[in-house]
């Protein structure tokens, strides 16, 4: 089996999981439109693969008011676009035992990056994806912490839990459409997410978690198999709880639709 989408926009593709996904897509024949804030990383990606296999757009997804014009430009430039991978995310600590240490502007930025921006992007891209005659997809990278939080980064966990619930609803609403909704749920992975610059309380943060190559191998297997949910590594150990939640969600959907 192979990944079915051939023109893929990857948001948050300048490092870590986003870059690994972008590399894998190119390797398997998709044209990748890499999006991120770091111009030099984007240029390096296109230079490495060539303009026939890769494009790039420098954009900050937290600039919510610019998302409609960004989406319009993407669609105009890439009319064969059939998949959007929303991977951007940041993680910051949050310690209420020392409330004076909490910078609310950082909290706002984290929530915007991890939840509001994906919501705005989804709204903006959906009309185009729904108008296509062939299958399309929205693929979101959330986190195992959407299912079970940890103490040190409560806002991050909450933002990913919010996305997880939104994805369940979005998938239910779009189940009769041509748009497939996919959620990737990583464990801790060895990336810049835990870098000392932004999380100085974490020692050797880049070494925490699953090696990126191992994560990508398992994640890719789930994507090419066409799974809607791709829990990876230790997140799979929690999935039994999630299946029970899905049953309850399904029951609620049925009850609210009059049992249909």
pLDDT one-digit tens code per residue, 4-14: 999 999 999 99
Q: Which residue's entry shows tokens 């897509």?
A: 25
- The better pLDDT of the pair 92, 260 is held by 92
Number of H helices, E strands in the chain: 8, 7
Domain containing residue 146: 7-258
Largest CA distance in the chain: 55
The pTM assigned to this predicted structure is: 0.93
Output the pLDDT for position 26: 96
* Mean pLDDT score across all residues of the chain: 93
Structure tokens at 91: 């993680």
Percent of the chain's residues with pLDDT above 70:
93
Q: Is the pLDDT of residue 51 over 90?
A: yes
Q: Sheet holding 54-58: strands in order across?
A: 54-58, 31-36, 7-11, 83-86, 136-141, 179-185, 229-231
2 within some domain: no
Identify the pLDDT of residue 241.
85
The model's pLDDT over 58-113, given as tens digits with 9 standing for 90+, comes to 999 999 999 999 999 999 999 999 999 999 899 999 999 999 999 999 999 999 99
Answer yes or no: is 241 within a domain.
yes
Instruction: Write the pLDDT tens digit of every residue in 164-221.
Output: 999 999 999 999 999 999 999 999 998 776 666 666 676 666 667 899 999 999 999 9
For 87-106, b/e burial (b = at least 16 CB within 10 A) is bbbbbbbbeeeeeeeeeeee
Within a domain: 124: yes
- Whether 90 is covered by a domain: the verdict is yes
Q: What is the pLDDT of residue 193?
A: 65
**What pLDDT does 169 receive?**
97
Residues 155-168: what's their mean pLDDT?
97
The CATH number assigned to the domain holding 84 equals 3.40.50.720
So what's the pLDDT on residue 240? Answer: 86
Per the structure, the count of domains in the chain is 1
Report residue 23's pLDDT band, with 50, 70 and 90 as the boundaries.
very high
Name the band, by pLDDT with cuts 50, 70 and 90, for residue 147: very high
Whole-angstrom distance, CA of residue 32 vs CA of residue 46: 9
Give the mean pLDDT of 215-239: 95
Find the Cα–Cα–Cα–Cα dihedral 153, 156, 159, 162, rounded to 10°. -60
pLDDT at 196: 64
């Amino acid at each position: 089996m192979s990944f079915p989408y051939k023109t893929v926009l990857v948001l948050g593709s300048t490092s870590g999981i986003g870059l690994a996904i972008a590399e894998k897509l190119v390797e398997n024949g998709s044209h990748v439109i890499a999006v991120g804030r770091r111009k030099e990383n984007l240029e390096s990606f296109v230079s490495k693969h060539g303009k026939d296999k890769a494009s790039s757009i420098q954009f900050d997804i937290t600039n919510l008011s610019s998302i409609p014009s960004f989406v319009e430009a993407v669609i105009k430039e890439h009319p064969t676009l059939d998949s959007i991978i929303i991977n951007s995310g940041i993680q910051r600590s949050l310690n209420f035992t020392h409330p004076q240490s909490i910078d609310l502007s950082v909290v706002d930025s984290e929530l915007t990056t991890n939840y509001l921006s994906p919501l705005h992007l989804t709204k903006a891209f959906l009309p185009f994806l729904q108008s296509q005659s062939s299958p399309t997809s929205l693929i979101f990278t959330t986190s195992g912490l959407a299912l079970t939080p940890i103490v040190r980064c409560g806002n991050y966990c909450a933002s990913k839990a919010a996305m997880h619930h939104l994805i369940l609803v979005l998938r239910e609403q779009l189940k009769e459409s041509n748009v497939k909704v996919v959620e990737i749920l990583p464990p801790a992975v060895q990336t810049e997410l835990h870098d000392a610059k932004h999380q100085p309380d974490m020692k050797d943060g880049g070494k925490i978690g699953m090696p990126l190559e191992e994560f990508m191998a398992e994640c890719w297997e789930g994507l090419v198999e066409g799974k809607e949910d791709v829990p990876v590594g230790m997140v799979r150990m929690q999935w039994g709880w999630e299946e029970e939640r899905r049953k309850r969600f399904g029951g609620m959907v049925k009850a609210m639709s009059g049992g249909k």
